[in-house]
Structure 1
Amino acid sequence: MSKDHQVKAKKHLGQHFLNDESVAEKIANTLSFQGYKHVLEIGPGMGVLTKYLLQKDTITHVIEIDTESVEYLKNNYLNLANRVIEQDFLKFDLNLVFNNEPFAIIGNYPYNISTQIVFKTLEMRDQIPEFSGMFQKEVAQRICSKEGSKVYGILSVLTQAFYHAEYLFTVPPHVFNPPPKVDSGVLLLKRKENFTLPCDETLLFKVVKTGFQQRRKTLRNSLKTFNLSDNLKANSIFDKRPEQLSVQEFIELTLLIENDINP
Structure 2
Amino acid sequence: MKAVKPKKNLGQHFLTDLNIAKRIADTVDACPDIPVLEVGPGMGVMTQYIVEKPRPFKVVEIDRESVAYLNEAFPRLRDNILGEDFLRMDLTKVFDGQQFVLTGNYPYDISSQIFFKMLDNKDLIPCCTGMIQREVALRIASKPGNKAYGILSVLIQAWYNCEYLFTVDENVFNPPPKVKSAVIRMTRNEVTDLGCDEKLFKRLVKTVFNQRRKMLRVSIKQMFSRECMPSAEFFTQDIMTKRPEQLTVAQFVELTNIIEKELSR
Give TM class, smaller chain: over 0.9
Q: Deviations over 1:12-43 (max 9, x none)?
A: 00000001110011001112353652110000
Query: Is 1:15 matched up with 2:12?
Result: yes
Return the offset for 1:96: 2.6
Q: Is the 8 A contact 1:36 1:103 kept in 2?
A: no
Q: Is the 8 A contact 1:162 1:196 kept in 2?
A: no
Give, in whole Å, the separation in 2 of the partners of 1:18 and 1:213: 34
Query: Is 1:69 matched up with 2:82?
Result: no
Q: Deviations over 1:160-191 (max 9, x none)?
A: 00000110000001111111111101100000
Partner residue in 2 for 1:223: 220
1:40-189 correspondence runs (5 A): 40-189=37-186
Give, in whole Å, the separation in 2 of the partners of 1:200 and 1:111: 31
Query: Is 1:247 matched up with 2:249?
Result: yes
Q: Deviations over 1:54-78 (max 9, x none)?
A: 1112111100000010001011101
Give, in whole Å, the separation in 1 of the partners of 2:209 and 2:221: 13
Give, in whole Å, the separation in 2 of the partners of 1:35 and 1:21: 22
SS in structure 2 opposite 1:7?
coil
SS in structure 1 opposite 2:251?
helix
- Structure 1 residues 133 and 34, CA gap change in structure 2 (3 angstroms): closer
Give, in whole Å, the separation in 2 of the partners of 1:185 and 1:52: 19
Q: Is the 8 A contact 1:204 1:254 kept in 2?
A: yes
Query: Is 1:198 matched up with 2:195?
Result: yes
Could you tell which deviates more after superposition, 35-44 or 150-159?
35-44
Q: Is the 8 A contact 1:163 1:195 kept in 2?
A: no
Return the offset for 1:194: 1.9
CA-based RMSD: 1.3
Q: Is the 8 A contact 1:161 1:195 kept in 2?
A: no
Q: Is the 8 A contact 1:37 1:58 kept in 2?
A: yes
SS in structure 1 opposite 2:57?
strand
Q: Is the 8 A contact 1:33 1:57 kept in 2?
A: no
SS in structure 2 opposite 1:253?
helix
Give, in whole Å, the separation in 2 of the partners of 1:21 and 1:34: 22
Give, in whole Å, the separation in 2 of the partners of 1:6 and 1:67: 13
SS in structure 1 opposite 2:123?
coil
Q: Is the 8 A contact 1:168 1:185 kept in 2?
A: yes
Partner residue in 2 for 1:28: 25
Give, in whole Å, the separation in 2 of the partners of 1:100 and 1:42: 18
Equivalenced residues, count: 260
Return the offset for 1:9: 0.5
Aligned match for 2:235, one of 229, 233, 243: 233
Moved over 4 A (4+): none
Query: Is 1:258 matched up with 2:260?
Result: yes
Return the offset for 1:91: 1.0
Percent identity over paired residues = 50
Query: Which ranges in structure 1 are unaligned for 5 or more consecutive residues?
Result: none
Give, in whole Å, the separation in 2 of the partners of 1:65 and 1:217: 41
